[in-house]
């Protein structure tokens, strides 16, 4: 499958929301890295995941306990082999028998590599701009 740089963030969002480990892994170079900020991991330093399969497994494992996720991708700026993509990530979960949405405003700082006609992520570094936690209603 041929992928452009502009398609990668949307394909990633869909694959994560669908909990599709092989689809997430296919978007990364075999030796890719993914750096997560302490705001998401609770660690004192950024956490870097290495390798396409390890990245995919960790990301899908992190969202699997949630009721649902929806990653809304917008505002991309791509310059050659680098880019910044903005995203609002919705994470639905239950607390006190009520459904809530932990919404996080994210920026992905990406490096891309061409694998012979198709682009993949060489690296992603995630930044959190802000978050809010709000009650939501699911359709009956």
- Would you kindly state where each structural domain of the chain is located, as residue ranges? 8-135
The two three-digit tokens of residue 69, written as one number: 């996720």
Digit-by-digit pLDDT tens for the chain (140 residues) are 789 999 999 999 999 999 999 999 999 999 999 999 999 998 999 999 999 999 999 999 999 999 999 999 999 999 999 999 999 999 999 999 999 999 999 999 999 999 988 999 999 999 999 999 999 998 88
CATH of 8-135, one of 3.40.50.2000, 3.40.50.150, 3.10.450.50, 3.50.50.60: 3.10.450.50
Find all residues with CB under 8 Å of 42, minimum gap 6, and list them: none
Side-chain-side CA neighbours of 39 within 13 Å: the count stands at 13
Q: Residue 97's pLDDT is what?
A: 92
Q: How many CB atoms lie within 10 A of CB 123?
A: 20
Interhelix angle 8-17/52-63, nearest 10 degrees:
50
In angstroms, rounded to a whole number, what is the distance separating the alpha carbons of residues 7 and 84?
13
Contact 119, 5 (CB under 8 A): yes
pTM of the model as a whole? 0.95
The two three-digit tokens of residue 86, written as one number: 């903005």
Which of the 8 DSSP states describes residue 118? S
């Amino acid at each position: 499958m041929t992928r452009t740089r502009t398609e990668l963030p949307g394909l990633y969002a869909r694959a994560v929301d669908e909990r599709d480990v092989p689809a997430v892994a296919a978007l990364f170079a075999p030796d890719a890295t993914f750096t997560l900020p302490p705001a998401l991991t609770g660690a004192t330093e950024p956490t870097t995941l290495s390798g396409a399969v390890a990245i995919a497994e960790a990301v899908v494992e992190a969202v699997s306990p949630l009721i649902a996720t929806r990653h809304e991708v917008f505002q991309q700026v791509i310059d050659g082999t680098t880019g910044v993509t903005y995203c609002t990530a919705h994470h639905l979960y239950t607390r006190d028998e009520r459904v809530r949405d932990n919404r996080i405003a994210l920026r992905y700082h990406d490096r891309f590599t061409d694998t012979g006609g198709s682009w993949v992520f060489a690296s992603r570094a995630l930044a959190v701009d802000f978050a809010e936690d709000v009650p939501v209603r699911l359709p009956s």
